[in-house]
A and B are shown apart, each in its own frame.
Chain A
Amino acid sequence: MFGLSALFLARFQFAFTVGFHIVFPAFSIGLAAYLAVLEGLWLKTGRSAYLDLFKYWLKVFSVVFGMGVVSGLVMSYEFGTNWSAFSQKAGPILGPMLAYEVMTAFFLEAGFLGVMMFGLNRVGKGLHFAATCMVSIGTLISMSWILSSNSWMQTPRGYRIDEATGRFLPVDWWQIVFNPSFPYRIVHMGLAAFLCVAFIVAGVAGWHLLKARREGRQASEQVRLMFSMAMWMAAIVSPIQVLAGDTQGLNTLEYQPAKIAALEGDWESESRAPELLFGIPDMKNETTHFKIAIPYLGSLILTHSLDGKVPGLKDYPKEDRPYSPLLFFSFRIMIALGMLMVLVGLWSLYLRWKGKLYDTPLLHRIALFMSPAGFLALLCGWITTEVGRQPFTVYGLLRTSDSVSPIALPNIATSMVAFVIVYFIVFTGGITILLRTFAEEPHPDQHGPAEDQPQRAAGTTQVSHQPQPDAGMAE
């Protein structure tokens, strides 16, 4: 596809670092919301199982959030090191948006994280709940800014191009921020983050349900509660996500038809287009091999009409076509996982109605097996939308090949190797710790970081001249 050029390595490095990074913010967005819900329910109902679950997932949050911060730090400088031409040209528009993200979201999250993690004994229930909500709101604000920036790169509006420097200059910030694809993307991404966490929670609960069954005992109240909550999410959110994805598809067809043609593997523009279930797109010979197709379905899905016209890649000059073989599969894997999630959700509704939600080991096994499904679907979705934007960084206006820094190949090769090594160490360490945390069953009087072990910290240590902590918080 490319020679081993600095451009290729810069792209590969971006895909690698952002691919690792994105998992953690998505995890944080979903988990922070889950934590806020758990603490809110605990305060409302007084049921201690909610607090136990809160403390259990808080430990996970501390690891996930830290990894999100450090891998995100890289992104904030990588634009400058590897994509300096892009930064200089698009900086006047994207830079302020990222700075706003930091000011309205990152500081909010980091500022209240300490209180949320370690302040349970220090600030009282109400303030602590407020801190948890602030962290959760921070993650959502952060998602809004970053998706707005990304959407602007996909569907740029509200700019003019300075003739002398080729820079994008802001004309109308309202149009820039609320560009045409932003509303669809933010809904799709937000729901995706919630589903990621729902399936992780379901997987952990499924593991403990199976283990309890093997040991001939009943799983704890906490395990059953979190399984039930996760299955409600799967049942309600997955179908909504299918609708959200569908509307984003319609939006993409309107603004980026070449992306649609590439992810469908369609070469000729036609009405009454079939939907390919399988195929191997071939960029060179401009065809798709080994097609298995369902007639009319392509038009129906994309245009909601049997004889709607769908685009073909041949409508576009060769140098403007996104790489179809990758998109074709990333898109289909995402769809397949989404459908599986819907099925799991529906099945859980049926079992719940029959009163067998906790007594169906097959469902628990499937939940365990599908615990990474949300993240896989998320990554496939991002590959689809980002690779589908190629060969441009700012869609239709700035080519990726004109965005890269004047960087020497050895530099970028060095950094690539260094990133791979460090990420391997860090993410292996992180995943090991997460798995070890998951292996413990949440139980009554869950010890959270707030009370006992200095799990990185220290709300635990008493301040010598402080009054005694509010005893109510200790449960």
Chain B
Amino acid sequence: MTETAGFWLPMVWALLAATAIFLYICLDGFDLGIGILFLKEKDADHRNLMVNTVAPVWDGNETWMIFGGAALYGVFPVAYGTILPALYLPVLFMLLALILRGVSFEFRFKAESPMSKFFWDTAFCGGSIVAAFMQGVILGTLVQGIKVENNVFVGSSFDWFSPFSLFCGLAVVIGYALLGATWLLWRCEGELHDTMRRISFALAGLMLVTIALVSVWTPMLHTTYMQHWLAMPQLALVAPVPVAVAVLAGVLFLGLRNPRSHLLPFVATLGLFFLCFSGLGINVWPYIVPPTITIWQASSPPESQTFLLVGTMFLLPLILSYTAYSYYVFRGKMSAGHHYH
């Protein structure tokens, strides 16, 4: 009995944790993307409008990240205790960037002098870029593998500083910017909408290039990853992913070219994120700290996982429904101009 619980519970939790991380990437992805797009959009009214599309919901979006940390701590404590020391500096930079960017939501509207307004706008933009980049680096480092002996991290403080993980950082910045641009294209009208549609074209092109590069690069990192592409049962699982990416890319470009299509580009981008995320997941499976610790080795005892699972089954649908309600309350296009300053 315990044997089977010990086998199935970590699988269920791995799936739940992956879902939570994916939700975080989708939700905070577009609001980090908005910060990144401050690089291109300098107009003060437009900037306010951009921030306002996410103002009522960003706290909730960021909560998924806190949930990720807490769930990892409770369900896979060995992963929590080895991944975080290994990624000490990237995690630190990400957290600091998220702090600066988070408070800028409030502070930039309340800043009185042009100096302080400029400062908090820069903090919002810079914080978003650094946070996105570091999330990519964290992902890249994890995929690349972490040196662990006896459940303790034994690598050096700069193992994360590798071409692969830095490139993943860049890829995530581009991806989030595209999510942000397609979100704004959906939620805004007029000039801002047109700008975002233009920017989305370029970003979509860049994103496809980075997806292709990461896809070729990843199997070359470890022989286990490569085996997924060479042996038959696994190949059947991974082979459809690149095909689906190509199809969705086509849909995305069609949506961007059709001026009447507003929501489709955002949905297609989310779809691309989903494919990339599951593609990486399939590569890494069943390791949670590649290349040594599996989800079973990282797990807390079944008593802990069960205790949390019982509540989660009930609470997660509840959370999703009131989050959806909040999005519903603040639905629709944001109109520019007259309400601002």
Interface residues of A (CB under 8 A from B): 62-63, 65-67, 69-74, 76-77, 79-81, 84-85, 87-88, 91-104, 106-115, 117-119, 122-123, 162, 167, 169-171, 173, 405-408, 410-411, 414-415, 418-419, 422, 425-426, 429-430, 433, 436, 453-466
Q: Nearest Cβ in chain B — how far from A467, in angstroms?
A: 11
Within 8 A of A (CB), among B313-341: 315-316, 319, 322-323, 325-326, 329-335, 339-341
CB <8 Å contact, A72 and B66: yes
CA distance A205 to B103 in the complex (A): 26
CA distance A411 to B84 in the complex (A): 13
CB <8 Å contact, A74 and B99: yes
Q: Residue on B with the closest CB to A79?
A: B73
Within 8 A of A (CB), among B102-144: 102-103, 105-110, 120
CA distance A118 to B109 in the complex (A): 15
Q: Nearest Cβ in chain A — how far from B148, in angstroms?
A: 11
* Neighbouring A residues of B330 by C-beta, 8 Å: 114, 118-119, 122, 458-459
State whether A92 and B56 are in contact (beta carbons under 8 Å apart), knowing that A170-B303, A456-B105, A465-B332 are contacts in the complex: no
CA distance A407 to B155 in the complex (A): 11
B74 at the interface (CB under 8 A from A): yes
State whether A81 and B88 are in contact (beta carbons under 8 Å apart), knowing that A69-B62, A426-B103 are contacts in the complex: yes
Q: Nearest Cβ in chain A — how far from B256, in angstroms?
A: 22
Q: Residue on B with the closest CB to A85?
A: B81
CA distance A62 to B59 in the complex (A): 11
Interface residues of B (CB under 8 A from A): 48-49, 51-53, 55-57, 59-60, 62-63, 65-67, 69-75, 77-78, 80-85, 88-89, 91-92, 95-96, 98-100, 102-103, 105-110, 120, 151-153, 157, 189, 300-301, 303-304, 307-308, 311-312, 315-316, 319, 322-323, 325-326, 329-335, 339-341
CA distance A454 to B335 in the complex (A): 13
CA distance A49 to B65 in the complex (A): 39
CB <8 Å contact, B81 and A69: no
Neighbour of A103 across the interface among B77, B85, B108, B315, CB < 8 A: B315
* Neighbouring B residues of A103 by C-beta, 8 Å: 67, 311-312, 315-316, 319
* Neighbouring B residues of A67 by C-beta, 8 Å: 103
Q: Residue on A with the closest CB to B156?
A: A408
Q: Which of B102, B307, B325 has the most chain A CB atoms closer than 10 A to its own CB? A: B307
CB <8 Å contact, A170 and B335: no
Q: Which of A65, A103, A162, A463 has the most chain B CB atoms closer than 10 A to its own CB? A: A103
Neighbour of A66 across the interface among B48, B105, B308, CB < 8 A: B105
Count of inter-chain pairs, beta carbons less than 8 A: 282
CB <8 Å contact, B312 and A80: no
Q: Residue on B with the closest CB to A69?
A: B59
Q: Residue on B with the closest CB to A173?
A: B307
* Neighbouring B residues of A118 by C-beta, 8 Å: 55-56, 330
State whether A73 and B105 are in contact (beta carbons under 8 Å apart), knowing that A91-B74, A111-B60, A459-B330 are contacts in the complex: no
From DSSP, what is the main secondary structure of chain A's interface residues? helix
CB <8 Å contact, A70 and B66: no
State whether A102 and B300 are in contact (beta carbons under 8 Å apart), knowing that A95-B73, A111-B60, A454-B52 are contacts in the complex: no
A-B contact sample (11 more), CB < 8 A, given A92-B304, A418-B92, A429-B120: A67-B103, A70-B103, A95-B74, A104-B315, A107-B322, A117-B56, A411-B157, A414-B92, A422-B100, A433-B110, A454-B52
* Neighbouring A residues of B311 by C-beta, 8 Å: 100, 103-104
> 29 A-B pairs, CB-CB below 8 angstroms?
A63-B106, A69-B63, A73-B65, A80-B73, A87-B80, A93-B304, A94-B73, A95-B77, A96-B300, A98-B73, A98-B74, A99-B71, A99-B308, A100-B311, A103-B315, A106-B63, A107-B60, A109-B59, A117-B56, A122-B330, A170-B301, A405-B84, A406-B153, A422-B100, A430-B106, A430-B107, A460-B52, A465-B332, A466-B332
CB <8 Å contact, B60 and A95: no
CB <8 Å contact, A66 and B106: yes
CA distance A406 to B152 in the complex (A): 8
* Neighbouring A residues of B56 by C-beta, 8 Å: 113-115, 117-119, 457-459
Q: Nearest Cβ in chain A — how far from B151, in angstroms?
A: 7
* Neighbouring A residues of B152 by C-beta, 8 Å: 84, 406
CA distance A455 to B341 in the complex (A): 10
Q: Residue on B with the closest CB to A457?
A: B55
CB <8 Å contact, B100 and A426: yes
Q: Nearest Cβ in chain B — how far from A450, in angstroms?
A: 11
CA distance A192 to B107 in the complex (A): 28
CB <8 Å contact, A87 and B73: yes
Q: Residue on B with the closest CB to A87?
A: B81
* Neighbouring B residues of A414 by C-beta, 8 Å: 89, 92
Q: Nearest Cβ in chain B — how far from A211, in angstroms?
A: 21
Q: Which of A76, A84, A459 has the most chain B CB atoms closer than 10 A to its own CB? A: A84
Q: Residue on A with the closest CB to B83?
A: A80
CB <8 Å contact, B55 and A95: no
* Neighbouring A residues of B325 by C-beta, 8 Å: 111
CB <8 Å contact, B329 and A122: yes
CB <8 Å contact, A111 and B98: no
* Neighbouring B residues of A429 by C-beta, 8 Å: 103, 107, 120
Neighbour of A456 across the interface among B51, B189, B329, CB < 8 A: B51
CB <8 Å contact, A87 and B102: no
CB <8 Å contact, B335 and A418: no
